[in-house]
Amino acid sequence: MSEITNILNKNIVLEIKDLYKSFGDNDVLNGFNMKLYQGENLVIMGKSGSGKSVMIKCLVGLIEADSGSITVMQNDITKLTQEALDILRADIGFLFQGSALYDSMTVRENLEFPLRRHKKKMSVNLNTEDLVMEALTNVGLAHTVDLMPSELSGGMKRRVALARTLILQPKIILYDEPTSGLDPITAKEIIILMQDIQKKYNTSSLIITHDVDCARVISDRMLLLIDGIDYAVGSYEELSNSEDSKIKAFFKH
């Protein structure tokens, strides 16, 4: 309880209000709301196909919402110029579902890619090689710098993808199913890494997962996306003890 109160005294870094998104007659988001506070890990759970990825894609501008507002660090993103939006985007790291590394590029080239795109933010006398090696060292993979993605295991690919997200030193990190498709031990390693990164850089994270163990370990707060809305918000403790049948369904193994 006191932990939650502490979080609520902090600044909101990201806020979604009344978000609607349909594809034809498929109403995916029906008035979704969410707040992310500075330094917290907010876990979002929802059934497969419930609109979690659609929501996160609206956040980063990959999908245009039908209506609603999205505010990132006090900026309404629907009202920003392209240039302002690009600058803001450099502060938001997005770890896609799967790893989405470029298969034809080495690990080094994969990490250099976002640096080139966001030159402005990273230009101040920062050496590309140093940034690449620092990001890889953070995920324990400095030795893979010259390898191709096909030479890496699934867990290593996920860590390289995380390093690529970290290289721009984002203030907010959005994780879409960071542990999906990994064996339990590798999944746990990724979770520990996410926690280390949060501590080291005091990032605010939004973590989409269907992994209840991941949610228990990493969440400061949780949000359940059900029927296109923010159906329930609370600590893992509160939600896992709920008597609501829709909420209970998430916690039975």
Q: Binding to Mg ion (CB under 5 A): which residues in 5-64? A: 52-53
Q: What mask of x and - would describe binding to ligand ADP in positions 140 to 179, judged by CB under 6 A?
A: ----------------------------------------
Name 132's bridge partners: none
Region near ligand ADP per CB under 6 A, out of 45-53, 104-112, 181-189, 233-241: 45-53
Packing angle between helix 128-138 and helix 154-166, nearest 10 degrees? 130
CB 111 within 8 A of CB 136: yes
| Residue type for position 7 | I
- Is there binding between residue 179 and Mg ion (CB under 5 A)? no
- Is there binding between residue 45 and ligand ADP (CB under 6 A)? no
By CB under 6 A, the count of residues binding ligand ADP is 11
Question: CA angle 49-38-185, nearest 5°?
Answer: 55
* Cβ atoms within 10 Å of 90's Cβ, excluding its own: 18
What is the spatial order of strands in the sheet that 75-76 belongs to?
26-37, 12-23, 67-72, 75-76
* Cβ atoms within 10 Å of 136's Cβ, excluding its own: 23
CB 53 within 8 A of CB 29: no
- Is there binding between residue 52 and ligand ADP (CB under 6 A)? yes
Is 53 or 165 the residue whose CB approaches Mg ion more closely? 53
Is 197 or 208 the residue whose CB approaches ligand ADP more closely? 208
Is 107 or 208 the residue whose CB approaches ligand ADP more closely? 208
- Among the listed residues 45, 54, 135, 187, the single contact to ligand ADP using CB under 6 A: 54
Is 51 or 149 the residue whose CB approaches ligand ADP more closely? 51
| Residue type for position 186 | T
In the complex, minimum distance from the CB of residue 210 to ligand ADP, in angstroms, rounded to a whole number: 8
Q: Binding to ligand ADP (CB under 6 A): which residues in 7-36? A: 23, 26, 28
Is 201 or 231 the residue whose CB approaches ligand ADP more closely? 231
Residues 6+ apart with CB under 8 A from 23: none
The site for Mg ion (CB under 5 A) is made up of 52-53
